[in-house]
A and B are shown apart, each in its own frame.
Chain A
Amino acid sequence: MKILVCVKRVPAPGARINITADEQAVDTAFLGFTTSPHEECALEAAVQLVEAGGGEVTVLTLGPAEAEEQLRYAASVGATNAVLLATDGSDWDPQRTARAITKAVVDLEAADGPFDLILFGNESADSGGFQVGIRVAHALGRPMVNGAKGINVADGMAEVWREADAGREVYRLQLPAVVGVKEGINLPRYPTMKGRLASKKVQVATTRPTADPGGQQMVRLRAPAEQASKTVVLGSGVDAAPAVVDLLESLGVLK
């Protein structure tokens, strides 16, 4: 089975998100980078499926040259092929991103045969458009279900389930299919030393994508208004207990 996983390089902010002076980007001067948790889980799901049923995992990202870091990380936890669609690092809108990824998939499949499964995250961590995977699936004419909390593959079918208000929904998709994954579907592994060494040798196939922009254009970013809140120090250690009990009584949660 051949599986493609699409991941996006995003900053990993801590206590707050700072914005650059021109309000066009997150200030990443003091930040590390990561992939969205949903996408890390998509990758882990792909690696587990291949471990169980054979095949290989390809990881693809569209982003700046530095996104090679996320591809190597993916290789260190089990991806065998890496594809970088290198941009100048500017924010690509969802339609444009989907067009570029679709084209890359078509090219990759023409060269090496079809992917049985293409996995996305449910939404990207930084822009949260909830759509790139759906657009790619539609362009390729493949079935797509987002928000997966479980994937099993057998006999050319992917059984996918997800949580909804009323309970679990189960979908049965004929391969080739596309699935958007949510964090919680599995617990992603950490790279082993062997994995790290192997990832250094993986060839990153790099191309410069071209795709027309879509109709959504970012004007600027801003921080949400801070919520007004009041902090009271109730005490330290067990000495705080009576004050906590008083508070809970006043809030009516002690029954």
Chain B
Amino acid sequence: MILAVIEHDRGSIAAAAFEGVTAAARLAAQHDDTVEALTIGESADALVEDLAKYGVDAVHQAHHDLLGDYGPEAWGEVVAQAVDRLHPTAVVATGTDRGNEILAQAAARLDVPMIANCIEFTLGDTFDVTRVRWGGSLLEHARVDASPVLFTVAHHAIDARPAQSAGAAEPRPFNPELDPSLARTVVADRVERVAGITLSTAPVVVGGGRGVGSAEGFASLQELAELLGGVVGCSRAVTNNGWRNHTDQVGQTGTRIAPDVYFACGISGAIQHWVGAMASKNIVAINTDPNANMV
């Protein structure tokens, strides 16, 4: 059995979670195995039907007073106990911030490896994966000797795909035993986001790099972005200079963008920037150097 750990926020499933379920189904297909899912907290009980569409046979529904909101340690402990009781051959989640955090917490408890951000995976005598390094600029083939295998599938690496012939999924109660001390890392407070277009979803991004020359130089980029219904982005050279906030940074340690058009003004196109921008459908590079990598 392959166990998919479902990321959700107080009951709303993360769209990314279906990528992990799809990965689980792919791995199961290699061995004619079954896929089951684990949802954590009562708020996620309603997800059974959605998960069934992806070929999940059973949904283990973890219930406990400590699972009202997200908590990395409590969630990791639930996954670890699910491994002990359900004996999956592999456990998979999507490689989002939370997905990686939950599986790392579980792996720490089980003292087994956790392979982050895989794009290919084959389970044989050993578990053979290709995983991304450097935020996607480099690939690593790795061999994993562990039972069970815990891994995440890199976000956006595979498309979430419902199963061709899906039946119903059976909800099954799962009652973990959680030490009250695990409450120590449950979300204590929240500040909800105000709706609006964000860098990661904007259809147009007007990006500026060191070549923009100053914080003031961004005024015209801002104007263009507003005219086109887009947002401003920037390189790390710009954030390091204090010209823009880090929330505007595109790249390995910033935001990944996928706009219809990315204007790259005075950006050389270092690989760590490029990995964040390469999903752009069109790039208009403005640069004094015709040999710049961005061009």
Distance in Å: Cβ of A22 to nearest Cβ of chain B: 13
Q: Assess the A144–B144 pair: CB atoms within 8 A.
A: no
Chain B positions near chain A (C-beta within 8 angstroms): 9, 12, 14, 70, 72-73, 95, 97-98, 100-101, 104-105, 107-109, 111-117, 128, 132-146, 152, 184-193, 203-204, 228-230, 236, 239-240, 242, 245-247, 249, 252-254, 260-261, 268-272, 278, 282, 284, 290, 293, 295
* Beta-carbon nearest neighbor of B245 in chain A: A184
Q: Assess the A126–B134 pair: CB atoms within 8 A.
A: yes
Residues of A within 8 A of B98 (CB): 164
A208 interfacial contact with B, CB 8 Å:
no
| Beta-carbon contacts under 8 Å, A1-44 to B | 13-17, 19, 26, 36-38
Task: Tell me, in angstroms, the Cα distance from A143 to B71 when the chains sit together.
Answer: 11
| Beta-carbon contacts under 8 Å, A213-255 to B | 214-224, 227, 231, 233-234, 244, 247-248, 251-255
Residues of B within 8 A of A182 (CB): 253
A119 interfacial contact with B, CB 8 Å:
no
* Cross-interface CB contact of A219 among B95, B107, B141, B145, cutoff 8 Å: B141
* Beta-carbon nearest neighbor of B154 in chain A: A128
Q: Assess the A95–B191 pair: CB atoms within 8 A.
A: no
Q: Assess the B187–A165 pair: CB atoms within 8 A.
A: no
Q: Assess the B229–A255 pair: CB atoms within 8 A.
A: yes
5 extra interchain contacts, Cβ-Cβ under 8 A, other than A146-B97, A161-B191, A167-B191? Answer: A130-B116, A166-B9, A184-B254, A216-B113, A227-B278
Known: A17-B271, A217-B144. A138 touches B105 (CB 8 A): yes
Q: Assess the B145–A217 pair: CB atoms within 8 A.
A: yes
Task: Tell me, in angstroms, the Cα distance from A252 to B228 when the chains sit together.
Answer: 10
Q: Assess the A221–B139 pair: CB atoms within 8 A.
A: yes
Sorted from nearest, which 10 A-B pairs have the closest CB atoms?
Answer: A184-B246, A167-B193, A170-B189, A131-B104, A138-B108, A130-B100, A168-B191, A215-B146, A15-B293, A215-B113
Q: Assess the B100–A222 pair: CB atoms within 8 A.
A: no
* Cross-interface CB contact of B140 among A36, A218, A253, cutoff 8 Å: A218
Task: Tell me, in angstroms, the Cα distance from A95 to B116 when the chains sit together.
Answer: 13
Known: A15-B270, A15-B271, A37-B236. A94 touches B113 (CB 8 A): yes
